[in-house]
Structure 1
Amino acid sequence: MANRKNRSAETRKPEILEGYYQVLIEKGFEGSSIGKIAQHLNIHSTLILHYFKNKDNLQRELIELLISKYKAEHMLNFNSIEDRTRRFDALMDLIFSFKWNRTVDPGVHFGFYYKSFRDEGIRKDLNDMFRWFRDYLNDAFIVFNKDGIINVTDEHKAADYVLTLMEGLEFHAHFLNEGKPFEDFADTAKTATIAMLKNGTF
């Protein structure tokens, strides 16, 4: 019986979290509720409360799910590319791509960013997430720098810059792109970033 309950939780909880995610995309934070999540999933709201107890717990576990989406370690695995220059190019292509930047819906992403100003738990979770990616870039830049693919004196600062610019692509897409494709500005930003990584700006 215990194993059956565990299997049920393992199946149900991810379904409910994905349902909550979809409701946030469609309705926003202000328009979401346990009742609307239940309606979206065609289940009773008591089932959501059975697994999560309250909306705060539901929200916290959704953040953990979105962080796992953001990290997307399978997308950052370039071990199959032996040539380091090609590996660097593949990394730059990925992090400035529409696919990577939409790993998490931008409305939900920035909704939690807004909440982080008032909720220390959410702020810590997002802080850990961004620092994880900054450290990933830092370590990658150390390797590329040693191989002479880039020319930086401060890999940490370079990683901070690239991460900050990458996050700003959604700002540009939402407010400033004037109907142009996401890739139009992202490709310009990527080209400029690569030039700075190679010419000793950092």
Structure 2
Amino acid sequence: MPSKIVERYKRILSGEQKRFSPYEFEDAQYRKQKVQLVVRYAIENVKRWTPEQARRELSVHDIKQLKLHLVREYIEPPIEAKSDDVYYIVEFAYPYLPRLPEEQRVLWVYQEVLAGIRRHFPPLYFQSIKGEERAKICVDYMCQHLMKLSDLYELPKIFGKTERAYSLLKKYRLKILVDTLYFSPFDMVTEIYPELSNPAFWEDS
């Protein structure tokens, strides 16, 4: 039963037991509940943290110290999580914790890419419908906050020259969009901003 998992976890923490049985998490019906119980015990009884505090402060070092690496494989990280991020383990244990809205998560990732904290966007980040939504958030941010455009209708003039368009996308770390999602800078701009698809806007650009 899931309730016994905490006793086994205590034995692991005390050194009486090295790891969980290979069959401990075999039953998918109870797996999530068991993992949540282990993480909650570690946070509330060992660290004596609140869930909010744990999300802020839990580190990779804590994960090793608390032996939570033994259950980490059963928690799927969100697409934006970096390899050393562990906040999502707390969110898994406490599903009621408020999450950042999608737009803020996308901007967090993009700003880390711009700052060099991330070398690149997560794999498959711009795939599917969700990826297209992320692309629009990033391009909006580029136009409004990085290029500081006051009028979107300036975009055809700026992106009409292919070489200049690629140079700008490279500068603002969004060249990946035309490498993976759109056929060209023109395609990117007109897909994201359909109101700019009138060919007249692109003449003499």
TM-score range for the pair, normalised by the shorter chain length: 0.3 to 0.5
Query: Please, what TM-score do these two structures have when normalized by structure 1?
Result: 0.32
Query: Please, what TM-score do these two structures have when normalized by structure 2?
Result: 0.32
Higher Cα radius of gyration: 2
| Higher share in helix | 1
